[in-house]
Amino acid sequence: MVAKHCPICNRTSNVIRFYGEFCEKCAGEMLGEKIPVVIEIERCKKCGRIRTKEGMKEEDGKSLNLAAESKLKNYRIKLIEYSKDKALFDIVLDEGRQGRLSIEKEIGLEYKNITCESCYKRIGGYHEAVFQLRGDPERIERFVEKVGRYMEARGEFIARVDKVEGGLNVFISSKKSANAFISERDIAATASYTLMGLKSGKRIYKNTYAIRL
């Protein structure tokens, strides 16, 4: 086979793989020009998590890769290494008829301060359900600790705890998780529902569970 010569750098196909008419290095440089030099990563100033296409995540190599994927949609990318303000990616430019062409490229990371939805709700004391706990103070305390751990594990939270006559009122960010907590543990609770208002034409209720401990 006659050796090809790259029209840009004059290397021959004896020493370097070719991609079409060009050596893979020159082809990579040409096609890689469209890749942004800097990408913006949204980071929550409260919890430090970053926005990815799978939601807010603790920042690490895996989540940074996910965040970058939504900024570099046309490419398959793999994070090689990263530092405070830049990251090195392996970027697949093409996998078509002419073979696979990929380059290693350093991209700047520009962090944008945001407040994520869950921190926003926390700050506002957002809640959908209330546990009205009455009875033995120690049992109530242990119960609240359990609720706290359970909610934390599900990305939810206790918005507020009010001390009242005979016990505590615990405000919980998610109705669904409050329900799950009760049904998984077979807790005898008396539920009541308060209409809070309308949201997109649907009635929104706050669930209140009276629990004796």
Contact, 205 vs 193, CB < 8 A? Answer: yes
**Binding footprint of Zn ion, residue count (CB under 5 A):** 10
Q: Which is nearer to Zn ion, 140 or 159 (CB)?
A: 159
Which of these ranges, 23-31, 32-40, 73-81, 158-166, lies near Zn ion under the rule CB under 5 A? 23-31
How many other C-beta atoms are found inside a 10 Å radius of the C-beta of residue 18? 19
Output the CA–CA distances (angstroms, integers) from residue 94 to 16, 90, 138, in the order listed.
18, 12, 63
Q: Does 161 bind Zn ion (CB under 5 A)?
A: no
Q: Does 103 bind Zn ion (CB under 5 A)?
A: no
Q: Which is nearer to Zn ion, 64 or 133 (CB)?
A: 64
- Using the rule CB under 5 A, which residue among 18, 19, 23, 174 binds Zn ion? 23
The terminus-to-terminus CA distance of the chain in angstroms comes to: 85
Which of these ranges, 33-41, 92-100, 113-121, 145-153, lies near Zn ion under the rule CB under 5 A? 113-121
Q: Does 9 bind Zn ion (CB under 5 A)?
A: yes
Burial pattern 118-153, b for ≥16 Cβ within 10 A else e, equals: bbebbeeebbbbbbbbeeeeeebeebbeebbebbee
Q: Does 44 bind Zn ion (CB under 5 A)?
A: yes
Which of these, 88, 91, 106, 111, lies nearest to 40 by C-alpha position?
111
| x/- map, 47-86, Zn ion, by CB under 5 A | x---------------------------------------
Q: Does 178 bind Zn ion (CB under 5 A)?
A: no
